[in-house]
């Protein structure tokens, strides 16, 4: 998914924060 969106892990985490995704904490 990250490769398709051309995003880094940090950008993905930032996106999760902006979206207010609760599951991002469980990924870590």
pLDDT score of 8: 79
Cβ neighbour number for residue 7 with a 10 Å cutoff: 14
CB 12 within 8 A of CB 2: yes
* Count: domains in the chain: 1
Closest residue by Cα to residue 1 from 18, 26, 27: 27
Give the domain extent around 27. Answer: 1-28
Structure pTM?
0.40
Closest residue by Cα to residue 25 from 9, 7, 13: 13
Tell me 28's DSSP state: -
SS3 content of the chain, % helix, strand, coil (to 5): 70, 0, 30
Write the pLDDT tens digit of every residue in 4-28: 766 678 887 887 777 766 655 655 5
């Amino acid at each position: 998914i990250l490769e398709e969106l051309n995003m880094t892990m940090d950008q993905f985490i930032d996106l999760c924060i902006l979206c207010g995704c609760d599951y991002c904490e469980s990924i870590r």
